């Protein structure tokens, strides 16, 4: 009787929980793949070791916090592309139409840029060939 009761309780969360769990697992797999890529390419930078903010500390199961990890990944990609273009933060800020302080905050990995800012940075970096 208790076994049947437990099964019934488990089914109550049903599709919503299953979808959320599937979404979280997919996000986790994507982040792990991105982390593997970053670790593999770490030694391939011509200007020395990977510059930028450090990855957040994983939890006891080895999982990285998603939001903080994404902030660091975005920061590292912007730094890498800006350096590939040979620009300073001030030059990127001027070309993208944002303040230099914004570039500094984004590249620190502690502040997540909004979509509009990422769009401006991406357009400027693409025009610069990075």
> Is 0.85 surpassed by the pTM of this model?
no
Distance from chain centroid for Cα 62: 17
Residue 75 and residue 20 share a domain: no
> For 43-84, how does the pLDDT look when each residue is reduced to its tens digit (9 = 90+)?
444 444 557 888 888 888 888 888 888 899 999 999 999 999
Residue 127 and residue 88 share a domain: yes
* Domain total in the chain: 2
Residue with tokens 């697992």: 25
Residue 88 and residue 126 share a domain: yes
Q: Where are the alpha helices (DSSP H) in the chain?
A: 2-41, 66-85, 89-96, 100-108, 115-127
> For 20-44, how does the pLDDT look when each residue is reduced to its tens digit (9 = 90+)?
888 888 888 888 888 877 776 654 4
Domain that holds residue 31: 13-42
Residue 47: inside a domain: no
Q: What CATH number did the domain enclosing 114 receive?
A: 1.10.260.40
Residue 35 and residue 72 share a domain: no
Nearest in space to 103 (alpha carbons), one of 122, 126, 129: 122
């Amino acid at each position: 009787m208790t076994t049947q009761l437990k099964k019934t309780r488990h089914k109550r969360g049903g599709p919503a929980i299953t979808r959320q769990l599937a979404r979280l697992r997919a996000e986790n797999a994507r982040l792990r793949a991105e982390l593997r890529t970053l670790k593999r390419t770490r030694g391939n930078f011509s200007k020395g070791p990977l510059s930028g903010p450090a990855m957040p500390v994983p939890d006891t199961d080895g999982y990285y916090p998603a939001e903080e990890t994404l902030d660091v990944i975005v920061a590292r990609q912007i730094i890498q592309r800006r350096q590939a273009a040979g620009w300073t933060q001030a030059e990127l800020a001027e070309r993208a139409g944002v303040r230099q302080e914004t570039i500094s905050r984004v590249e620190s990995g502690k502040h997540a840029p909004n979509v509009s800012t990422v769009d401006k940075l991406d357009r400027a970096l693409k025009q610069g060939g990075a």
